[in-house]
Amino acid sequence: DVGHAGDADVRFCADMLGRVSRSFAAVIRQLPKGLCLETVVFYLVLRALDTVEDDMEAFQKDPGAKLRHLRGFYHVALEDPEFKMHGVGKGDEARLLENFDRVVRVFQGLTPGMRTVIKDITRRMGAGMADFVDKDLGQGTISLQEYDLYCHYVAGLVGEGLTRMFAESGLEAPDLATSRQELANSMGLFLQKTNIIRDYLEDFVDGRAFWPQEVWKRHAPSAVPAQSLGAFAEAEHRERALACLDELVTNALEHVPDCLAYMSRLHTPQIFRFCAIPQVMAIATLEKVYHNPDVFTGVVKIRKGLACKLIMEANSMGDLYTCFSSFAGKIARRAAALEKRGDSVSAQTLRVCEEI
């Protein structure tokens, strides 16, 4: 029972989830009652916010409007049961915003505790996104510290929100929500950094560059910002581009011990799987992109067959240790071979892989 939100609204949310998130929808649906609908709403609210942040055309005539929408989304969107947005995003994401009032009515049917978490995370994420819109990400984030801060806003906060929702549902211990913020943050950073590394070309074509200048300047031919990032796609800069890529993969791998520590504290099987499946997909993706020039000419995705195998082997910490050490071992072997050829980054990669 979700209060005055009609069944039609709940059905809309369930249908929309399947449209905006390919394989992850099935993972959310297996969550227990008392957490499933809450997570669907949370996912859709975050997706709506992400759609506003991502739209580079809709606010061209009034850039201030994007900042106002991002900073005000938690209040305007989640308080107004008639809230809709037209002309933002495309395809199913635009449809989500045009019918957002239906999500709001389901949100308002959730318990006060759940609403508090979702509203708090939406507020802080929107404010953080707005800060970075100003920084003109076309030049890439400046430093590794800003890279971590951006990932904290768009993904680390999701970890904090989910951790608090797990506790709110009574299915996981509250201590996970208080003392373990750092671990929950790492869960998000690991996923987001993997996405940013994998989506290099796609983002560059969209005029966005999330790769931190602090890293690619070290390897980029000339210090001309926007071109350098694009120059990586050209063959003659291939070696430098791969060194930059390997450094970012190594940086992402540093979060693995925290992610494993976080998941070792989960007790509910469905919640464990909900957290573990994106993690095993990410470690497999990092292994596939490490020192892989295809990253600069297309989007490197793991094969469907491997994805299915990973999903079947994400049921216990034993499964996770096996999966993570297997992929870390593959990366370490590639790094060792590169180090023999005088590669500069691979020694650091080896050190990080030995920690996993």
Ligand X SMILES: CC(C)(C)CN1C(=O)[C@@H](CC(=O)N[C@@H](CC(=O)O)C(=O)O)O[C@H](c2cccc3ccccc23)c2cc(Cl)ccc21
Interface contacts to ligand X, rule CB under 6 A: 21-24, 39, 42-43, 46, 154-155, 158-159, 162, 187-188, 191-192, 274-275, 278
**Burial (CB count within 10 angstroms: exposed 0-12, middle 13-18, buried 19+), residue 61:** exposed
Between residues 213 and 285, which has the closer beta carbon with respect to ligand X? 285
Cα distance between residue 270 and residue 169, in whole Å? 13
Q: How far is the CB of 302 from ligand X (least distance, A)?
A: 10
100 in catalytic set: no
Between residues 157 and 332, which has the closer beta carbon with respect to ligand X? 157
Q: How far is the CB of 165 from ligand X (least distance, A)?
A: 9
Between residues 109 and 159, which has the closer beta carbon with respect to ligand X? 159
132 in catalytic set: no
**Beta carbons of 180 and 287 less than 8 angstroms apart:** no
The DSSP output letter for 291 is T
Q: What are phi and psi of 14, to 5 degrees?
A: -65, -45
For residue 299, what are its two tokens?
A: 């989007």
| Nearest residue to the partner ligand X, using Cβ | 159
Q: How far is the CB of 220 from ligand X (least distance, A)?
A: 26
Between residues 160 and 343, which has the closer beta carbon with respect to ligand X? 160
Q: Which residues contact 233 (CB under 8 A, 6 or more apart)?
A: 201, 204, 241, 296, 297
Q: How far is the CB of 108 from ligand X (least distance, A)?
A: 19
Between residues 159 and 212, which has the closer beta carbon with respect to ligand X? 159
Indicate which residue of 59, 166, 232, 274 is catalytic.
274
Between residues 121 and 231, which has the closer beta carbon with respect to ligand X? 121
36-54 helix and 112-134 helix, angle to the nearest 10 degrees: 20
DSSP calls for 275-326:
HHHHHHHHHHHHHHHTT-GGGGTS-----HHHHHHHHHT-SSHHHHHHHHHH
User: Whats the size of the chain, residue-wise?
Assistant: 356
* Tokens 């505790």 belong to residue: 113
Q: How far is the CB of 112 from ligand X (least distance, A)?
A: 20
**Beta carbons of 295 and 289 less than 8 angstroms apart:** yes
Indicate which residue of 29, 123, 124, 208 is catalytic.
208
Cα distance between residue 137 and residue 180, in whole Å? 30
DSSP calls for 198-231:
HTHHHHHHTT---S-HHHHHHH-SSS-HHHHHHH
208 in catalytic set: yes
The DSSP output letter for 32 is P
Q: How far is the CB of 3 from ligand X (least distance, A)?
A: 22
CA separation, residue 27 to residues 70, 82, 271 (Å): 28, 29, 9
Neighbours of 237 (CB within 10 A): 19
Indicate which residue of 107, 147, 150, 200 is catalytic.
150
198 in catalytic set: yes
Catalytic residue numbers, as ranges: 150, 198, 208, 274
